[in-house]
Homo-oligomer: A and B are copies of this chain.
Amino acid sequence: MKIGVLTSGGDAPGMNAALRVIAVLGTAQGHEVLGIRRGYEGLLAGDVVTLTPGMVEGIARAGGTMLGSARSKIFPTPEGQAQAKAKIRELGLEGLVVIGGNGSLTGAHLLGQDKPCRIVGIPASIDNDVGYSMMSIGVDTAVNTIVEACDRISDTARAHRRAFVVEVMGRHCGFLAMRAGIAAEADAILYGEDGDKTLDELTERLTGVLRRCFGGNSEKKRCLIVKAEGVEVPTKDIVARLQSFLDAELPGVDCRETVLGHVVRGGNPSALDRLIAQRLGYAAGAALLRGAHDVMVGWDVPATVGQDTGDRRVRMVPIGEALEETKCLLDGTSPVARARITLLEKVEQLLSM
C-alpha cells in the first residue's frame, strides 16, 4: 500500500518527529511511504519523495519540517480539489496523513468528502487552537522558547527596574501567552478570550499592575506583561500609555516593548513535543493502516469523544467534530474552553496578589 504524508500551514517543532514515526511504521509493515513536499501545493504538483528509514533517522530533534510547508490558495477551490484527487490517483496513494493546524485539517476534511483515499489528520500548531486535542504538536516547544526569552528580558529588566510588554504569537488563541506567562512569573497576561478590551480598559488594568510592582515599598524589580497577538490594541499604543503613566507617577521607570515573532516558531522540539508527535504519528499511521478515514488523532481528548487508539492518551476523532469543537474552543463555549478560562481566572487571581 502507498501512503502519502504532508505537513501544511505554519510549521511547528515536532512535525519531523511525526514524519519519522509514520515513515518507520509504514516501511516496517511493508508499505511505501511518500513524503509530499510543500503541503497541498506539493500534492497538486505531485512533488514527492519516497521516505526510507535512513532518510528520517535523527530528524525527530530538528525544528521546522523536512518536507517543507505552504499555504495553498488553489487547493480549497473546486479546481484544486479535482486536481488533488487526480494526483492521488496518479500517485496511487491509498492513504494520506496530513500534519497541520485548523486550516490544514479543514483542507483534509474537504478533500476526504469523496474519499479519494483514506485521510487521517494530526494536529500541529504552536497556537494550541485545534479542537479535541489538549496539546497540538509544537506548543510545548513554543512555550519553552517564550519562557526562555522572558527570562532573558527579565535579566535586563531587573538590571534597570523596568516594565516590558512582550507580544507572542496566537492570533485567535491566547494559550501561548497564558501558559508562558504563568511559567515566566508574568505580572499580567493579556489575551483576546478576555473580551475585546479598549486601550482605556487595558491601561486602567495595567497601571494598577505597575503601581503594585514599582510603587510604595514593593520589592519587585521588574514588571512583565505578556500579551497575545490576538489582543487587538497594538502593543506600541499600550506601551506609550504606560510610559506616560510612569513618567507622571513613577518617574525613572521605563516601559519597553518586545515582539517575539517567528523566533517562537523554530528550534529543536522539546522532549514533550517529540513524545507527543511520535505517539500521535504512531496512532495516525496505525489508524490509517487499519482503515480509518476522515479522522484526527488528538492528545488527551475527553473520554466521551471519539474512539480509543490503544494509547491511553490518544483518541481518534472525526475531523468534522474536531473542527466544530475548534469553533467552540475559540468562541469560549466548549467545556475544554471553559476549563481553559477557569485556568485564566485562576492565573488572574495569582497575579493580582
Chain A residues engaging chain B, CB cutoff 8 angstroms = 7, 10-11, 13, 20-21, 24-25, 27-28, 38, 52-55, 57-58, 60-65, 68-70, 140, 143-147, 149, 151-161, 164, 179-180, 182-185, 218-221, 256-268, 270-272, 274-275, 278-279, 282, 310-312, 339, 342-343, 346, 350, 353
Contact = CB atoms under 8 A, between A and B. Distances in A.
B266 A156 contact: yes
A278 B156 CA distance: 20
Contacts of A58: 154, 158, 185, 221
How many of these chains are in the complex? 4
A64 B185 CA distance: 17
A11 B270 contact: no
**Which 9 A-B residue pairings sit nearest by Cβ, starting from the closest?**
A54-B219, A155-B266, A152-B266, A63-B155, A28-B353, A11-B159, A64-B155, A183-B274, A64-B159
Given A153-B263, A261-B258, A265-B156, A147 B68 contact: no
Contacts of A146: 271
A279 B182 CA distance: 9
Contacts of A256: 261-262
A182 B275 contact: yes
Given A58-B221, A155-B265, 10 more contacts: A11-B155, A24-B353, A38-B161, A60-B183, A68-B158, A70-B160, A156-B266, A179-B275, A259-B259, A311-B343
Given A54-B220, A60-B183, A282-B346, A159 B263 contact: no
Contact of A20 (B159, B185, B263): B185
A350 to B, nearest CB: 6
Contacts of A267: 151-152, 155
A295 to B, nearest CB: 19
Q: Looking at chain A's contact residues, is the secondary structure mostly helix, strand, loop, or mixed?
A: helix
Nearest to A146: B271
A155 B62 contact: yes
Nearest to A338: B312
Contact of A266 (B27, B151, B346): B151
6 contacts: A57-B185, A61-B147, A145-B152, A153-B262, A183-B271, A312-B339
Given A155-B266, A160-B70, A282 B64 contact: no
A176 to B, nearest CB: 10
A212 to B, nearest CB: 10
Contact of A271 (B147, B258, B260): B147
A300 B283 CA distance: 22
Nearest to A264: B152
Contact of A143 (B7, B65, B271, B343): B271
B11 A350 contact: no
B350 A282 contact: yes
